[in-house]
Structure formats: C-alpha cells, structure tokens
Structure 1
Amino acid sequence: MEKLHTNLLIVGGGIGGCAAAKTACEAGLNVIMTEESDWIGGQFTSQATPPDEHGWIEKFGCTQSYRNFRNSVREYYKKHYPLTESALQNPVLNPGDGWVSPLCAEPKVFLAVFEEILQPFVANGQLKILLNNIPIRAGFSGNRVENVTVAHTDTKNELRIEAEFFIDATELGELLPLTNTEYVTGSESQAETDEPSAKMQANSINSQAFSMCFAMSYHEGEDWTIERPKNYDFWRNFVPKLTPAWSGELLRLTGLSPRTLEPVHYNFVPNNEPNKAFAGLWTYRRILHKKNFQEGRYDSDITLVNYPQIDYLLGDLLSANTEEKARMIAEAKEQSLSFLYYLQTELGFKGLKIRGDITGTSDGLAKSPYIREARRIKAAFTIKEQHVSAKYLPNQVLAVPFEDSVGVGFYRIDLHPSVGGDNYVDVESLPFLIPLGALIPKRVENLLPACKNIGTTHITNGCYRLHPIEWNIGEVVGNLVAFCLENQKKPTEVRNYSQLLTQFQSLIVQKGVEIKWPEDLILAEGDPHIHAM
C-alpha cells in the first residue's frame, strides 16, 4: 500500500474543506485534501445548492475571503459570459436573480472559482487534491489520530496518509467513527439540552431529510418528458408520516409553511414569475436569469430544484451501512425524478428539461446528496437553542456572546422534516457567534471538524449548517492547525489560555475573519431578510 505524509490531511473537499486548505496553505503548510466525488466545493457544486445567506452579506457578517470568493464568481461571469450592459456594470450581480441569495449561480462556475483559488497551491506542490477517494479506516493511539487510509471509489486502490493534524470536512462526519472520536447523531432529549424545541425523548436516528437536487430549464412548445420512473405511483401517493401531520401527498404544489405549519400553495410559473422576493418556486433558486444575458443567448432561465417535494424521509444515512446508503440515495433520486415527471405530465409542463450539463451528470441529478445534518462531535462546548433563539433572548439584538468567538453567522433555526417523524422546526434566531469551543473535540487532540459536524445540537445545527458559516469554520480550523503547529500547542490550550486565545483571535481578525457583530450597523440596516436584486 502506498503511503504519504503531510502536515495536514483534510478529508472532504466541500466548502469547509476548501476554505481550510486555502488558509493552511497560505500559512505555509503542506496539505492533502481528499474528496469523495470528482468535484470539490460541496454544497455549492456537487450538491448543486446556491448559498443560503442573510440579507447583510454584501456589507458584513462573513469572512473577507468568503466575500472575495463571491466577488470572484461575479467576475467570472463578467469575463466569460455574454452579459447585458446593465449586468456587466452591476457590482452585486446575481446571475440567476434567485431570491434565496444575492448570488445564485451555476455549480460549474462555483467549481471553476474554487479550482482557481486552490490552483497556485497545487502548482507549487503544497496542496495535493485526491478526488474520488473515501476514508475507510484510521490508525490512532490514545488521544491522537496517526493516519487515515482512503480508497479510490473506482479502482479501490488504497492509500495511507500520515499527518500531524486531521480535519473532518466530510458531509456526514465520516472520520469521527473511524478515529474513535466521540460524537452525537440525531436529536437530543430536552433533559439533555434544556432546549425548548427539543423532544422529550432522544432519538439517535432522527436526522433531517436529505435531497437529490437537479437543475432544469423550460421550453414552451417542446416535449422533454422523461421516462416514467419505475416507482412513480409510490412517490405520487406518498404522504409523509409526520407530527404535526403533513398537508397531503408530498408530490404536489401544496405543502406547509415552515413557520406556521399552515397549508401553503407554491407558485410555479417557469420563465414568467415576478422577479422579487418570495415570488415562487421557479425564482427561488434560479441560477441563470436569461434577462441578465444578451438577447437570444438563452431561450430559458435555469433553476435549481431544492424544494420540500424532494426531501427524502425514508431512512437515516448516518446509521446506514454502505449498501443501505446506496439504496437510499437511489430512492431519493427516483423521488426527485418523480417530482419532475409529475410537473411534466400531471401539471402539463412538458417543456421542463432536466439539465445534466449543469450538474455534470448523465442522469441530470446532482453528483451528491444535499446533506443537512451530520455526525456532530462531542465538543468542549455545545451550542444550544437558548444561546441563539430570539424568543429565549427577548429584547436583545444579538445572540449570547462568546469570549472565544472565531466567527459570525446568521440564519433562522431551520430544520426540515426528519426521518424520525418530526415536521418542520423553525425558530427565529439572532445574529450569532461561532465559539472556538464548538470546534474542538472533548478528547481527541489533533482532529478538527470543518463541516456540519461541529458542537451543535440537532436544533442548532439548523442555523449553523449554511454555506458562509461552513466557510468560516473551515477557514478558522485551517488557521488553527497552522497556529498550533507553529507554537507547538494543542487546540484546547489555544482556547483555555487567554493569552493564546487573544493571540489567535488577533491573527484571524487580521486575516479578515469577523468575530463580533456590528450592533450599530444591524440597528441601522433593519430587516435582514433576503430580497432579490
């Protein structure tokens, strides 16, 4: 078996993994990053999900490098695409004018920018990226990880990688069981966390649904109807078993409001929905608005489907073996295709065309499942609902302050229906901080999380799982590894000794990481909700 040695091994090439690789390489480390698919970028790319962001994102509330990344995506369009003059001159161009974010763009463009950012480190030999590789086992001794063995998904060739530090940036927290790192899955009980929204009984397999997203365009007068999915009748009649109850069959344009659990009808008007916030499903995650491009270049918008109708609720990936995972993902793919077939046939939108050229796949679906919940480390500090909930903190502008803050985030506590039978959990939050303690395992000394596997609960994972927050986490742990190696310290020592903590916080602030919210600006700006631009 081939063996390699490096300063830092990052397993998982998603948002957090890429941000960690970038900052660690900038600090002078040698890094190996592995990725299960053939695309780096995670939620942005292989999962095909435009970013969920707060309404202040253009001005404050994220790291400088994340803002640079977003601006690079806009510059890519201005350099390579036939934009209209007004789009070219727009400093906050939103290529898709989707209302989920001020930056809705194609997965392949996000991918190109990720690759552009990391290419200099690949070229100088600091960074080695191993695509199509998954972790299969690990060596550890006492409180330290010594090596991780990865295997190529096609050839099955194995490679053992030794490192001084390891980062788990996988979407499901795959390194945690392999390295014997203590973790939690599913939902905790109210007795464990004292969270108002927690259930009375813990349920380790009660994770949020995952989704197989896809892109589509619409061509009036044409027929792009796909082959009828084998189990279409099952999915067409499927009613989720949830408490409180769902509104009926999942595959229709009627669902529930996450905030009120009252029935809601979704607007769906391909190419003709109003270009404003909360207009309908077509504009929700639209990633290409044809009106931003020169006349005649595109005969349709392109939108990304990540709707409630494709939430897969029939199994928990975290407790599944390899065969069960493959079955669940295959079923989730069929569910997504069944929804498309429903739109094409029962609603009459025959011109809907699934766009594998956008997702980089032959079946038209995303390369990887869109994951909302992972294994979570048992951390030095666990973030709970009462730390961030607006209801729990009446008359406050900001969430609970943390002295060990290493970043900021803002998003509602937004839990999709879960495989354990819970309906939406939606709680208003306040602008919150990312505590360093939530990024440090209780026991293991040289493994850090950089995805949805930090020290949150099932409830607070719902607001810490978004794109800019994952980037912030990855950027911080990349810097933390470099800081620990340079100063010969453990992550716990950086957090527990005030002088080291102050030194580290000063370092990341100098590099553009915001570790506190500007309360005066928040009060001045007002409504933080997203509005399409």
Structure 2
Amino acid sequence: MKITWFFFLSLLFALGACRGPQSSNTKEVDVLIIGGGASGSMAGIQSARMGAETLIAEKGPWLGGMLTSAGVSAIDGNHKLPSGLWAEFRQKLYDYYGGPDSVSTGWVSHVLFEPSVGANILKSMADAEPKLELSFNTSLVSLEKNEEGWTVLVDGPRGSQTIQTKVIIDGTELGDVAAMAGIPYDVGMDSRYETGEEIAPEEGNDIVQDLTYVAVLKDYGEGRDKTIKKPENYDPSPFFCTCAHECDEDTAGNKLWDCDYMMEYGRLPKDKFMINWPIRGNDYYVNVVEMGPEERAEALANAKWFTRCYIYYLQTELGFTNLGIADDEFPTSDGFPLIAYHRESRRIKGKVRFTVNDLARPFSQETALYRTGIAVGDYPIDHHHSRYPDQSQVPYLHFYPVPSYTLPLGALIPKDTENFIVAEKSISVTNIVNGTTRLQPVCMLIGQAAGTLASLAVQQGVTPADVPVRQVQSHLIADGAYIMPYSDVNVEKKYWEDVQKIGATGILKGEGKNIGWSNVTLFYPDSVMTANALRDGLKDIAPGFNFNSHEEILTIEEGVNTAFSLSRYMNPNIQPEISNEDISMIWQEMGWGEMQPHVSITRAQMAVLLNRIVEPFSSVEVDLQGLYKKEKKNLSFNKSLALRRFI
C-alpha cells in the first residue's frame, strides 16, 4: 500500500513537473494572426488599435509579405483611393523619402520603395501598438477548434508554444492555415457555368497564375562589372524578346519596350531596380499550392534559379553589367528576397463569393454585395499566364477592363467555420476576380477590415459572421477607410463620410468606368440631383415611399422636404434631431454658402441631407448578401406630408 501511494505521489509530481514548462509556455490572446504579410500586418495593427490583445505569428523575420519579403515594392493601384492603413503606410513612405515625387521613380507605379524601408516602416507601425505582439520566425504546427475559439501550437525561437485565441486570421501567402483548419477551398480556374462569368473557361482546371522570384538590383556605378556567375544549365532563349533587342513586336506577340526604358519600369529610390518583368522576363509557372514543404521548397528554388538566369541575361546579353544584386536589401545570404511572389493561392468557400459580375456591374445583381463593402480597389484584372506551357487552355485575361470596386465583407468569412477570418489572396473570390484583389493596397485594406471584424467579434462575444455589417463599415469609415470606391470624392472632402454611407445604402449610386489603365467609379458630387435617380435608389430601402416630383431636377427645398418626409416614413417613432437652422449651418460648414431654396440641389448636398436627417446607413441593417434586414413597409408617403418644410 505504501508503495502504491509513493508511486501515485511520484506520478503527480512528475505530471506537475511536465505541466510547469507547458503552462509557462502557453499564451492567451484575443486575436491570432498567422502570417504577417500585407494583410496580416494591417490586421494586427487594426485589431490592436481597437483594443484586442493581438499576436502576429510570422514565419520569416519581416512584416509585409509581398510588399517587402517578396520584393514587390512597386504599389499597383489605389493611387486615387488613399484609403485607411494603405494611405497611412504611403504617407510614411512620403515622409521617409521626401514627398510623393521622391517615390514616383519608375513608370509601373506612383509609389516605389526599397523593401527594407517598407519592412522597417511596418515594424515601427506595429511596435507603436501596445496590444500587438510580434513573433517572427514562427511556424504553425497544429490548430484545434474548441468552445472558446482555437488552440494553436506554434514553433518559434523559444521552442514550442501553445496559444489559446478567440479568433484566428489566416494571413498566409497560400491559405495554408485555412487548409489545415479543414475549410473548403478552390484552386485554379473556375468554370463559367459555376460562377456565371462569361469570360471564364467552359471547364474549370487547376491552372494558377505564374509566380515570380523577384530580385532587386543596384547600380554599382559606371564601369563596374557585377556580372553574376553563369547559372548552371543557363539557356537564354526564354528571354529573347524581353525588350526591343533581338526581335520585333510581330515576332514577340507583345508590345516591346526599349531595353533601357524597360529597366526603368521598376526603378526604386537610391538607384535600385525591382526585377519583376512580365514580358519574357522572370515570371515562372509552377503550382505549389498543394505541395508539401520539401516539394514546395524545391519548386521555389527552381523559380529563383530562373530569375538568376534572367539577371545573367540582362547583364551579358543586354549589357547591364553595372547592375548587380543589391547587397544591402534583404537579410539573405544570396541577396534574393525572403520569399517568392505568389499571385494566387487557395480561395476559400465563403459566406459569399465575389464574381466579376458583382465587380463589373454591382448595381444590377440579385444580391447587392456593394452594400457590404470593406476594401476598395481600382486595378484592372491582371492575370500572368505567359509561362504556362499550353496557352490554348488559358483565356486571355490581361488587363480585362473593370470599374473601381468594393470587396464584400462576406468574402472574408468561411461558410461553415466559426471564429475564423481569411485575408490576403485566399478570400472568397473567383479566379478571375483574384486578378485584381491580389494587388498590394487591396490586400492591405482586406487586412484592416479583417482586424476590425476580429476585434468587434471579440468585444461582442460573437463569431465574426454575427457582427453587423454596418458596425464594421462604421469603424472603417471612422479610420478613413473607403467602403465605396468613389475616387471623385476624396477623404479630405467634408462630405466624404456622407457620400460613403449613402453610397453604401444604394440610395445614390455612382457610375463605373474603364478609361485606359484607369478604372473608376464616379459619384459626380457636383452634378444636379435628378428625381429619377433618387426614385430608383429608394425602391429597395423604402419600397412603399411614394416619391413624387413635378420637375426632374430637384431644388434644395425639395431635397430638404423629401429627406424629412423619408425620415418620418422610415423612422415613424423617432423625431429627427436636426432642424432647418442646423441644415443652414451645415451648408456654411461645407462651404456651400447661404441656402437658396429654389436653386438646384447637387448629389453631394442630397447625400448630406439623407445621411444627416434620415440616417439610413445606421438605421437599416443589411445582411452579408447586401439585402436589407428590415421588414419593408407598405405605407405610402408623399413629399407634401413632410414633417417640416424649408421656408
């Protein structure tokens, strides 16, 4: 009996000794972000700013992903949509280099920077948040769902660590966390019969976009020879016709640029050059998404070898011998970026799937996903498939024209998995749409939205799918993030918030246009407000509201009376707190001068009246499909029944 008790006590002691180190190496956080890329970095910063205890676990030593670690430090798109954390990051680049002109060094972008500078800026932004912890060189080992959220095992510099978190955000480059969590996803091209996209192929396939192992070269000065060692099995033929050197455009099948001008494409500050050239350059086809770690590493090593061959070609065939691999950019032994640039990854099956139809014609779909927008973009649909061996299987999607757009919140939320948010390129979009949502500013804004959603879910004790759409959007707007892609009403306009909110209700709609490389959706704030446009906008949110106007162009008096009448219709038990005197003061604050009742009212002015008097954005919730939750009324109101009249 004594032996038995001794054995039992010894066992308890041993178990306690085992548990001691585990408990000291266990951490609890509100939000865990796995992957500190463009999305993950911004998700962490936003989540922490909103009060959630947040941890970013990043596999490498830098934040930023494609922005920094992959070397794609030329920002594509959103130059006229300076939204949220993207705008903040851009301003810090301006401050560091000396203004907008100092980063407009190449012709592919208005914003180019050294990757190491971008990484330092992101690190400083993250370090400024006391509720944000960074864990670099940390890999995911396992994760398990539990009643309170997730139990996650990671392996980092301090060994294995168990993390208990309420919400996970997948910020990885290829959606590896979502896959480990068992979330269904798609890889490759979708069938047009599945998505309803006419430009999609008839049959789906597993073809993904080319990836690129980018390089950053530095000008070491005239007369310097920085030619690298000839790569093993070097073959120059894949690079013929990369610029106007060996062949003409008919032979190349592409527009060819002068070779010197080509090199200016990705010119960075301080005489550095981003090598990420799509025309017979260093794009490389391989589908690594479903590969295991060893197979993936070997495939990416081949992509790096291909870029090394391209560098050797530039130096020996085109004469750029003074351009060598930058020795002061990346913390790697060979001077190459830390990771490859992946243009495509898994795409989860989310609460909604954003198609090119939703993007190109947002106001004419059965759903109204634009009403749930959380991240804006304006880059064309740009697919890289030039290195795929069989071009007959690939539809031509190069710069397919679309307007600027807003991405729906439901694309970040898995269909059936709670307390999980997906960011970066693994959101619920079609293969075609990924050609524009993959761009750096959009991914940064996706991250900001993901961090907002996660923090609100933690605060309210609900799963992300149950956080009201309008709450997420309101927080984003408060932080200067666009939810509607109206480039003709920038954030500096005093009525910007009014236009954003009324635009998201659909009462006043913009017009999408593709103008060359410029994709816009215009609100036309200074145009007159027409009765037809207002009548069309009210039919969903207030279907029983009988709006009549004797004239097609509304006056300020009619606009005020209509707003008060609509407020009474939509909120019959709530007395509007705003008076005519208040409206007159608003007119003065906006710089519109004295109110003149019989002057035509502009669209911007009507947006202000609707937002301030009716408040439809906050009073009528929408679901993740963009459909109104409020039961529609069958009452009929005429503007003559206005609660107040402007005199």
TM bin, normalised by shorter chain, reads 0.7 to 0.9
From 163, 169, 172, the counterpart of 1:170: 172
- 1:151 to 2:152 alignment: no
- 1:129 to 2:134 alignment: yes
Residue deviations 1:174-208 (CA, integer Å, cap 9, x gap): 1011111111111111221121222222223x111
Residue aligning to 2:257: 266
Residue deviations 1:226-248 (CA, integer Å, cap 9, x gap): 11111213xx3449xxxxxxxx7
Q: Give 3-state SS (helix, strand or coil) of 1:164's partner.
A: strand
Q: What is the deviation of 1:507?
A: 2.3
Q: Give 3-state SS (helix, strand or coil) of 2:163's partner.
A: strand
From 9, 25, 33, the counterpart of 2:56: 33
Q: What is the deviation of 1:472?
A: 0.8
Residue aligning to 2:95: 75
Residue aligning to 1:405: 373
Contact 2:267 2:274 in 1 (8 A): yes
State the AA in 2 paired with 1:282: M
State the AA in 1 paired with 2:439: L
* Greater than 6 Å deviation, 4+ residue runs: 248-257, 522-526
**2:158 and 2:48 mapped to 1: Cα distance?**
28
Residue aligning to 1:114: 122
Contact 2:75 2:110 in 1 (8 A): no
Q: Give 3-state SS (helix, strand or coil) of 1:338's partner.
A: helix
Residue deviations 1:348-389 (CA, integer Å, cap 9, x gap): 322221113123322121111011011111011111122224
Contact 2:33 2:170 in 1 (8 A): yes
**2:268 and 2:456 mapped to 1: Cα distance?**
38
Contact 1:238 1:251 in 2 (8 A): no
Which ranges of structure 2 fall in alignment gaps of 5 or more residues? 1-21, 490-509, 519-647
Residue aligning to 1:344: 315
**1:171 and 1:188 mapped to 2: Cα distance?**
20
Q: Give 3-state SS (helix, strand or coil) of 1:110's partner.
A: helix
From 292, 295, 311, the counterpart of 1:321: 292
Q: What is the deviation of 1:159?
A: 2.2
Q: Give 3-state SS (helix, strand or coil) of 1:150's partner.
A: strand
Residue aligning to 2:415: 442
Residue aligning to 1:504: 472
**1:420 and 1:194 mapped to 2: Cα distance?**
27
Q: Please say which of residues 97-106 and 331-340 is displaced more in the overlay.
A: 97-106
Contact 2:244 2:258 in 1 (8 A): no
- 1:303 to 2:273 alignment: yes
Which ranges of structure 1 fall in alignment gaps of 5 or more residues? 79-90, 240-247, 270-279, 291-300, 495-499
Higher relative contact order (CA 8 A, sep 6+): 1
Contact 2:353 2:430 in 1 (8 A): yes
Residue aligning to 1:22: 45
State the AA in 2 paired with 1:200: E
State the AA in 2 paired with 1:453: S
Q: Give 3-state SS (helix, strand or coil) of 1:413's partner.
A: coil
Q: What is the deviation of 1:523?
A: 8.2
TM-score by length of 2: 0.67
Question: CA 1:256/1:377 → structure 2, altered by over 3 Å: closer, same or farther?
Answer: farther
Q: Give 3-state SS (helix, strand or coil) of 1:406's partner.
A: strand
Contact 1:50 1:101 in 2 (8 A): no
Tell me the C-alpha RMSD between the 2 structures: 2.9
Question: CA 1:316/1:419 → structure 2, altered by over 3 Å: closer, same or farther?
Answer: farther
Question: CA 1:400/1:29 → structure 2, altered by over 3 Å: closer, same or farther?
Answer: closer
Residue aligning to 1:476: 449
- 1:376 to 2:378 alignment: no
Q: Give 3-state SS (helix, strand or coil) of 2:329's partner.
A: helix
Residue deviations 1:218-273 (CA, integer Å, cap 9, x gap): 3332211111111213xx3449xxxxxxxx7879967999xxx932323221xxxx
Question: CA 1:419/1:36 → structure 2, altered by over 3 Å: closer, same or farther?
Answer: farther
Residue aligning to 1:88: none
- 1:138 to 2:160 alignment: no
Residue deviations 1:10-40 (CA, integer Å, cap 9, x gap): 0001111111111111111111111111111
Residue deviations 1:447-472 (CA, integer Å, cap 9, x gap): 10120111111110001011111111
Residue aligning to 1:284: 265
**1:128 and 1:520 mapped to 2: Cα distance?**
38
**1:339 and 1:519 mapped to 2: Cα distance?**
38
**1:468 and 1:184 mapped to 2: Cα distance?**
23
Q: What is the deviation of 1:111?
A: 1.1
Instruction: Determine what percentage of the aligned residue pairs are the same residue.
Output: 28
**1:114 and 1:16 mapped to 2: Cα distance?**
12
**Greater share of residues in helix:** 2
Q: What is the deviation of 1:504?
A: 2.9
From 469, 487, 498, the counterpart of 2:460: 487
Q: Which of 1 and 2 has greater Rg?
A: 2
